[in-house]
Amino acid sequence: MTDAKTQIDEMVKSNDVVLFMKGTKAMPQCGFSSRVAGVLNYMAVDYSDVNVLADEAIRQGIKDYSDWPTIPQLYVKGEFVGGCDIITEMTLSGELDTMLAEKGVAFDKAAADKIREANA
């Protein structure tokens, strides 16, 4: 059996976009996870979700892996992007669009623009 760090490393490196969250993208189990999953779902980003509530070793392991104390945590092309506040800020500023485009991750630009319009 591989340890949590190895499992996390494999998930982060084998998926273009992965969200470590409480619950699943279809059924988030906390408001912060729901917000980030909602943004990704609305923008039609293809991502893998990892329910940290299903595995205590992964729940603690992801915090150690990133040296970031909270969940959710978003990774794009192996790079830690941030948690709920950072993703929200990046979405509203357009930084998330730029990063996804630069990394070759498909997303719905019109949907991203609608998020910004609704929050202007």
Query: Residues comprising the binding site for [2Fe-2S] cluster?
Result: 30
Rg (CA), the chain: 14
* DSSP state, residue 54: G
User: For residue 46, with 0-12 CB atoms within 10 Å meaning exposed, 13-18 middle and 19 or more buried, which class applies?
Assistant: exposed
Binding site as annotated, residues: 30
Alpha helices for 15-83 (secondary structure H): 31-42, 56-66
**Rounded to whole angstroms, how far apart are CA atoms 28 and 26?**
6
